[in-house]
Structure 1
């Protein structure tokens, strides 16, 4: 995930450095871990450790699903007609 891509979506993810277990500092790695699972088709239990504890990442993923965060991110990304990554996924 490039810095530009992160700048476009990072503000949509809850959490800040002062919140325990909701650190905004690791949100980028959290998103990369979620993308790894979704792209690979692997189970959450196979998530590499450098993305965080698998149960924690899965719980955060589920909470953001229920809060509509992923939907807002997807809407933002699909509104960007110059999003080359999305073009490869949709095509």
Structure 2
């Protein structure tokens, strides 16, 4: 769900085909929980949500379950009690990694050409719109 650039971090939600449907940008040093909280209110209805370890938080998992979404998130290495997740399903998370790769095909996005976070997010949104329809 996240990829960093200079001092910003992009949080993204994709559909099952790996097409970007939600984007949110935070400062690079900010925890993934901040991005998760920001995206939480605007998540589409889904049976499953696949995310990396950075999103492993009990409150996040509980909120997903309350919304009727099953979390598929491996536990952080520092977690005392291990968390069960569907390892076979988790392998499908590569779709979001491929989406980030396609975003980076856009030189303006890959090189973080824009200094302003607002303009940078606009460039990402333009690239994401094209990626969505291709």
Q: TM-score, normalised by structure 1?
A: 0.37
Bigger helix share:
1
- Give TM-score scaled by structure 2 length: 0.28
Instruction: Report the structure number with the largest CA radius of gyration.
Output: 2
